[in-house]
Amino acid sequence: MVTRLSVNINKIALIRNARGSNLPDLVQVAKDCEKFGAQGITVHPRPDERHIRYDDVPALKPIVSTEFNIEGNPTPRFLELVLAHRPHQCTLVPDDPQQLTSDHGWDTIKHEGFLKDVIAQLQEAGIRVSIFCDPEAKYIEGAKKTGTDRIELYTGPYAEAFAHAPDKAIAPYVAAGQFAGALGLGLNAGHDLNLDNLRFFSQQVPHLLEVSIGHALVVDALYYGLEDTIGRYLNCLSI
Ligand code: PXP
């Protein structure tokens, strides 16, 4: 089983927004990511629209020919957007409006009822649901009870610890992958994955269906170009 690469294009939108024009053209970049081998496109509209804007979603939906994944905190406005445009997957993330970036998974025990309701609405519309989750058995068990199709493991702590203690860094994720598999939950992962830490992660963690990568991939593209960079990330996932 080869893990799929979904490219998060938030940073492309951030560069576009810096000048108020349509450069770079987000739709063209999404098409090019797919042409260069990406198997999915991810966007994360936040309430302040500092990178992806809500009106980027209707522009992207018809041109994404792989998997379109919209991630974010399920506020009423976010849910309205997702239900109107029906991506293949919606990843629910418990981030605050002002947060710089996502930095923790759901407390699936405390928010079980809320998540259940939201997930049922999305699934009824034919949208696969994934929820952002820390690699802890109690939260994965809680995720199972919400009815979600998949979980996305928050890999920030792995990325931080990888350089000095890779075996220790990966251990909770291996256990989480095994546990999710045993419960019949699909497994995605994302945050701070890069060309140094991705291969080890994908080799070690079982049942990994998809990774979503944005920041490091866009930074690498400054040096290697987008096509070469996507090829390098795919290569990390191929073994
Ligand atoms: N997954 C989630 C839920 C995220 O919020 C983000 C960042 O927007 C990512 C994955 C991708 O993280 P990165 O940009 O560090 O690759």
Distance, CA 8 to ligand 1 centroid (Å)?
A: 7
Which residues, given as ranges, of the chain have pLDDT below 70?
239
How far is 127 from 121, CA to CA, in rounded Å?
Answer: 9
Rg for the chain (alpha carbons), in Å? 17
How far is 42 from 33, CA to CA, in rounded Å?
Answer: 11
* pTM for the whole structure: 0.97
How far is 124 from 122, CA to CA, in rounded Å?
Answer: 5
How far is 40 from 42, CA to CA, in rounded Å?
Answer: 7
Angle between helices 215-224 and 10-17 (to 10 degrees): 70
pLDDT at residue number 98? 73
For residue 132, which atom of ligand 1 is closest to its CA? Answer: 3
pLDDT at residue number 101? 77
CB atoms within 10 A of CB 12: 24
Q: Which of 34, 51, 67, 71 is catalytic?
A: 71
Check: CB of residue 2 under 8 Å from CB of residue 194: no
Strand duo 67-72 + 40-43: pairing: parallel
For residue 194, which atom of ligand 1 is closest to its CA? Answer: 16
Which two tokens mark 223?
């040096």
Q: Please name each of the domains of the chain with its CATH number.
A: 4-237 (3.20.20.70)
Q: Phi/psi at 93 (nearest 5 deg)? A: -130, 130
CA distances to 24, 83, 120 from 77, rounded to whole Å, are 26, 10, 17
pLDDT at residue number 99? 74
Residues whose beta carbon lies within 6 Å of some atom of ligand 1? 8, 10, 44, 71, 91, 93, 101-102, 132, 152, 190-193, 212-216
Q: What confidence tens digit (pLDDT) does each residue in 156-183 have?
A: 999 999 999 999 999 999 999 999 999 9
Distance, CA 213 to ligand 1 centroid (Å)?
A: 6
Q: Which of 34, 44, 51, 210 is catalytic?
A: 44
Nearest CA to 108 out of 69, 154, 163, 62 is that of 154
Q: Is 71 tagged catalytic?
A: yes
How far is 98 from 28, CA to CA, in rounded Å?
Answer: 29
Q: Is 191 tagged catalytic?
A: yes
Distance, CA 192 to ligand 1 centroid (Å)?
A: 7
pLDDT at residue number 103? 86
Check: CB of residue 86 under 8 Å from CB of residue 127: yes
**Cα maximum dimension of the chain:** 48
Check: CB of residue 16 under 8 Å from CB of residue 22: yes
pLDDT at residue number 174? 98
